[in-house]
Amino acid sequence: MNIKEIEQLLQNVKDGQTSISSAAETLRSFPYTDLGFAKIDHHREIRTGYPEIVYCSGKTIEQIKGIFSLMAVKEKNIMGTRATPEMFEAVKSIIPEAIYYDVAKIISIKKIQSTPPDSLIGILTAGTSDIPVAEEAAITAELLGNKTIRIYDAGVAGLHRLLDKLTEIRKCKVVVVVAGMEGALPSVVGGLVDKPVIAVPTSVGYGANFGGLSALLTMLNCCAAGVTVVNIDNGFGGGFSASIINNLS
């Protein structure tokens, strides 16, 4: 809202074309509009089905119930990450339509259906132990209204499986690559596809992987351009970023 628009509004108030209460309302909200908070919300309303997100870890069962019941009155989708089965049981007891993805540890409450874009998000893992993080990414992407394809256990030892699916991977608009241990898979994928690659290091491994540090550093030092990285075990972040890219037009 620029100075011209403000003057016009004031002129309208002076002329009686706009009521004081209506103008006051417009003005009161503009700082936040300008700051973008309202805009983001507005944007999100248009993209129907975009969920509210709750990070459940470290919250008590009571806090979880409180937050979900507060949110459930709105006509919005809700998504809870890092949720334990106990948290889910508590949510389900007050919101029966709640669904639990146990590998991804995500609670979902779906009230509005969205139409996903045609383009695909690929979710790859190096090993089977990386699957829980990958599922967090995949379910996140799907709940945010995207189509995904999963290609799991395609690390160095199973590189031929990766190559077998290369055509399929190349169809994706963005690829999330989940890997622990040495975390070399994103380098390889980044060298083979010409699409944004989001690397998710996992804490899978032992010894000098230092809780995922090894995979994290590998991915940050990745020679293949086009690879960006999120936090260790942050499947949600990988899925969310992929969704933002997939929804670009």
DSSP code per residue over the chain: --HHHHHHHHHHHHHTSS-HHHHHHHHHHHHHHHHTHHHHHHHHHHSTTPPEEEE-TT--HHHHHHHHHHHTTSS--EEEES--HHHHHHHHHH-TT-EEETTTTEEEE--S-----SSEEEEEESSGGGHHHHHHHHHHHHHTT-EEEEE-S-SGGGHHHHHHTHHHHHH-SEEEEEE-TT--HHHHHHHH-SS-EEEEE---S-GGGGGGHHHHHHHHT-SSTTEEE--TT-HHHHHHHHHHHHT--
Nearest approach, Cβ of 28 to its own copies (angstroms)?
A: 5
Nearest approach, Cβ of 244 to its own copies (angstroms)?
A: 5
Residue nearer to its own copies on the CB measure, 93 or 210: 210
Question: Contact, 141 vs 239, CB < 8 A?
Answer: yes
Nearest approach, Cβ of 186 to its own copies (angstroms)?
A: 9
Nearest approach, Cβ of 56 to its own copies (angstroms)?
A: 10
Nearest approach, Cβ of 221 to its own copies (angstroms)?
A: 4
Residue nearer to its own copies on the CB measure, 96 or 230: 230
Residue nearer to its own copies on the CB measure, 42 or 97: 42
Residue nearer to its own copies on the CB measure, 88 or 236: 236
Residue nearer to its own copies on the CB measure, 18 or 92: 18
Nearest approach, Cβ of 134 to its own copies (angstroms)?
A: 13
| Tally of CB atoms within 10 A around 142 | 20
Tokens at residue 166, please?
Answer: 């290369």
CA 229 to chain centroid: 14
Residue nearer to its own copies on the CB measure, 27 or 71: 27
